[in-house]
Chain A
Amino acid sequence: MIGLGAHAEFIVAAYAGVFAGLALLVGWTLGAAYLTRRRLDSLGERERDRSARP
């Protein structure tokens, strides 16, 4: 890797901050998708049970 010069800490902080932010954003989006799908599956099962009941 190249040297980052006299202001290396600003460059490192910018990239670290952005990629930490992106990791949070991706994690939050994936987490919401997973939880929503799980909730929908469990509600779907309840709905099927209810309609199967005489």
Chain B
Amino acid sequence: MSIDTAPKMTWWNRLAHPGQFVAWTRPLLWPLAILTIALFALGLWFAFFNSPADYQMGDTVRIMYVHVPTAWLSQFVYATMALSALGTLVWRHPMADVSMKAAAPLGAAFTAMALYTGSLWGRPTWGTFWEWDGRMTSTLVLLFIYLGIVALWRAFDDQLRAARVVAIFTLVGAVNIPIIKFSVDWWSTLHQPASVFTPEGPKMPLSILMPLLVMFFAFTFLFATLQLLAMHTEVRRRRIATLERRLAQGAGR
């Protein structure tokens, strides 16, 4: 009789191996990309050809179909980073800091787009591009946090050390997410309160909700596609760093 002492290879353990992670997730890239393109095509058709003008905002409601998904992603990407930060600090999962690093520039881009579309929507509806109220200011702070995280990653040569510092910074910055979410309830603001994710359900007609949901999924699948691709690139970058070190040591002998 023998005692099996080898650790069991669960899917979690397998995902911890960067090579396995790339091999397992590479087949997802094309289906995700095709689904994203199809959803964008459908969403744009709904947005411009098959949705009505709003009774109050008129045609400017069409800006919502790009503003809400980018604003949702600005927070969702940060939540992904905060979960990955926990993965780095608590479980020391090797792919967690890869995920954290890959997501930061994507989150910054979506936040910048949310601010841009929000100000373009604000001018015709509120009469101003910008107002220093809770929602807009906290979203601008989120953009600065993202940029700070991107800069922090670049400030370290040792990416494992960088991961711990960035993880702590990311978790501290996560306090801004509930502030963004509830700012419209806590403070007097020009920004409208939540109208999709409410306890009573969406507060808009199906003809406007439908294009919004399609664009929401299009942007979310785009993030998933880019995140996977960026994670694969980061795994390869680390392999490059290892190979360069090995070649330099070989040349020195």
Give the interface of A toward B (CB within 8 A).
Answer: 1-8, 10-11, 13-15, 17-18, 21-22, 24-26, 28-30, 32-33, 36-37, 39-40, 43-44, 46-47, 50
Contacts and interface: CB of A to CB of B under 8 A. Distances in A.
A46 to B, nearest CB: 6
A47 B67 CA distance: 48
Interface stretch (B90-98, B198-206, B229-237): B229-237
B154 to A, nearest CB: 14
A17 B246 contact: no
Nearest to B227: A29
Interface stretch (B112-120, B133-141, B172-180, B184-192): B112-120
Contacts of A18: 66, 70, 113, 116-117
Given A8-B59, A18-B70, A44-B243, 10 more contacts: A1-B48, A2-B48, A4-B62, A10-B121, A11-B59, A11-B63, A14-B63, A22-B222, A33-B233, A47-B247
Contacts of A26: 226
Nearest to B123: A10
Contacts of B247: 43, 46-47, 50
A44 B58 CA distance: 58
Interface size band for B: 35 or more
B236 A11 contact: no
A36 B121 CA distance: 39
Contacts of A29: 226, 229-230, 233
9 contacts: A4-B59, A10-B63, A10-B121, A11-B63, A14-B63, A14-B66, A22-B113, A32-B233, A44-B243
A15 B244 CA distance: 43
Contacts of B67: 14
A21 B121 contact: no
Contact of B49 (A2, A5, A39, A46): A2
A28 B49 CA distance: 31
B49 A14 contact: no
A14 B65 CA distance: 10
Nearest to A47: B243
A32 B101 CA distance: 14
Contact of B58 (A5, A14, A46): A5
Interface string B101-139: 000011001001100110011011000000000000000
